[in-house]
Structure 1
């Protein structure tokens, strides 16, 4: 079997590896001793293994722990629900992808020609995953202090934003689905019960990857809102 064609999107120069190390030092705040870790974090699965997926697994957990600790210390008046909403907004794939673009990850992403033609270098899902992989690589090569410093610096501008609770549950759920390339949540009125002066509306919510949610309310809008709230609790628990 022939090796997949490699197409490296990175700064040209007499020594591409030196350009990559210089970029990492400038944007990640660390000069990698083990260059292969950095390259692995930037390698898409279209080039086979090793690729960023194992480092993404590590970086996702590290980002979660560091972000949770920071939020716990910073927002001392928030209850568990408030901290949870801030947390999921802060470490969302959409946020990670935005930061990846800001530091130029897309210019250094390693992928084959077909994946590049398919738009992988500009995919929110992939860019977010690669940012997490870079966090994992930073931890392994530079240690906890370097990793925490990068996360605090990169996510700093997002820390003061209003918690996701300020948004309507239906809007939150739709943004969550779209950020992951899923179809928008679908609401269906299943039935109406009760007397005319005090009706109950029963709504079914379908969301890709989860069991349907059925909720009720005194109006169709109220039932849909409650269904979205329950669905959000499920996706947060599954994160």
Structure 2
């Protein structure tokens, strides 16, 4: 199989030339384009998630040899979550080569976080199947770059951390309210406000309610911890 110019360019950005190019084609094929003769990337995504997890677990152990399991777990989650995979996918521009059905194409599928994250995991599996674990690990560590060393010393879920902070002071759990929504249907922006019993509040805007809630909680935590 001969790859298109766009997929050859993706190979270059990934730093891996495929011996079995059909694996890369499958990795960027969304289920909306699958058929009897065309496989989608769902099975590769399943495998890629596991390969990524092993690479990140090893990398974290190597980076901080004294960290406890309780410290490593949230850092691990921060490195393998769908948002991080989607960020890396954007950096190597996977969106431009995604093979999508018409409905996904019209709804902005090339920019959707879930589709990008899934495709990144599928590409990892494709490299693993094509060249083995060592090559896949090298690519992952190169693409993730300084994320491993820069991951927060305590990367706890911000909403959980804020709730623990509130409970320690005898407050009710923080409340979250959507205060605004903007942008087109295929790429909405949500503004979420978080408030505590003592009147402290903060808000943030992001492409999903979960992200906005996390960002609002993190902003409030940072302010409380610095005050």
Task: Give the TM-score range, shorter chain.
Answer: 0.5 to 0.7
Assess if the C-alpha contact under 8 Å between 2:29 and 2:99 holds in 1: yes
Deviations 1:160-194 (A, max 9, x none): 22427366732779xxxxxxxxxxx9xxxxxxxxx
Q: How many residues are matched? A: 172
Structure 2: runs of 5 or more not aligned: 164-168, 177-195, 199-227
Is the contact between residue 2 and residue 21 of structure 2 (CA under 8 Å) also seen in structure 1?
Answer: no
**Conservation of the 8 A alpha-carbon contact between 1:21 and 1:35:** no
* Change over 3 Å in CA distance of 1:60–1:38 after alignment to 2: same
CA–CA distance in structure 2, aligned partners of residues 48 and 76 of structure 1: 44
Q: State whether structure 2 residue 136 is matched by structure 1 residue 147.
A: yes
Contact preservation (8 Å) 1:100, 1:128? yes
Q: Does 1:93 align with 2:79?
A: no
Give the Cα–Cα distance (whole angstroms) in 2 for the partners of residues 152 and 204 of structure 1.
37
What stretches of structure 1 of length at least 5 have no aligned partner?
A: 1-14, 174-184, 186-198, 207-218, 222-239
CA–CA distance in 1 between the matches of 2:75 and 2:56? 10
Tell me how far apart the structure 2 counterparts of residues 138 and 150 of structure 1 sit (CA, whole Å).
Answer: 8
Distance 2:26 2:137 in 1: 21
For residues 34-64 of structure 1, the C-alpha deviation after alignment (integer angstroms, 9 at most, x for no partner) is: 1211111000111124101000000000000
Q: Is the 8 A contact 1:120 1:126 kept in 2?
A: yes
Give the Cα–Cα distance (whole angstroms) in 1 for the partners of residues 14 and 142 of structure 2: 9
RMSD in angstroms over aligned alpha carbons?
3.0
SS in structure 2 opposite 1:111?
coil
TM-score (norm 1): 0.63
For 1:38, the equivalent position in structure 2 comes to: 24
Provide the residue aligned with 1:136 in structure 2.
125
CA distance in 2 between partners of 1:16 and 1:35 (Å): 7
